[in-house]
Amino acid sequence: MYPIILKLGPITLHSYGLMMAIAFLTALHFIQKDAKAAGYESKIFADLAFIVLPLGIIGARLAHIIMFDELYSWSDPIGWIAVWNGGLVFQGGPPLAIIFGFWYLNKHKVSVWKACDIIFPYVALGHGIGRLGCLLKGCCFGATTNSALGMQFPRIIE
């Protein structure tokens, strides 16, 4: 696969991180466009997105720590926050984001259900783009297949 897009001295551009950034910015663009078309101030949705992003990362990290507790140690506290070494689980992101989103949207008097109609199609699009990052990194794959449609993933040792 192709885990590193570009390396310039100490700066490395990873395919997974690039795809996550593209996913976030693409979703944000379309959410703001649809929010404006629905008569809402698009800044409300942009502010929500930039608050929910770190909350989602925190939730994704906490879920990884809970699911793979054997990888973490009290003797290495930096390892608990070292997301640059991997260790995010998608399922952990939405709970914190949704709880905060409900509160935030109610505070700004935006219908939560109308906001969900605007936001969630692009969350799905963003997730799909992010999965392309997983594919490029070569870290997420299923069972072995002999199908002509299958892909061979090399074992990446980092």
pLDDT of res. 154: 64
- Report helix, strand and coil shares of the chain as percent, to nearest 5: 65, 5, 30
- What does the CA dihedral 61, 6, 9, 20 come to, rounded to 10 degrees? -20
Q: Angle 58-156-25 (CA atoms, 0-180°, nearest 5)?
A: 40
pLDDT of res. 115: 97
Residues of the chain with pLDDT under 50: none
| CB half-sphere exposure, 67, CA atoms < 13 A | 12
pLDDT of res. 155: 63
Tokens 């299958």 map to which residue?
A: 150
Mean per-residue pLDDT over the chain, rounded: 90
| CB half-sphere exposure, 156, CA atoms < 13 A | 15
The whole-model pTM stands at 0.85
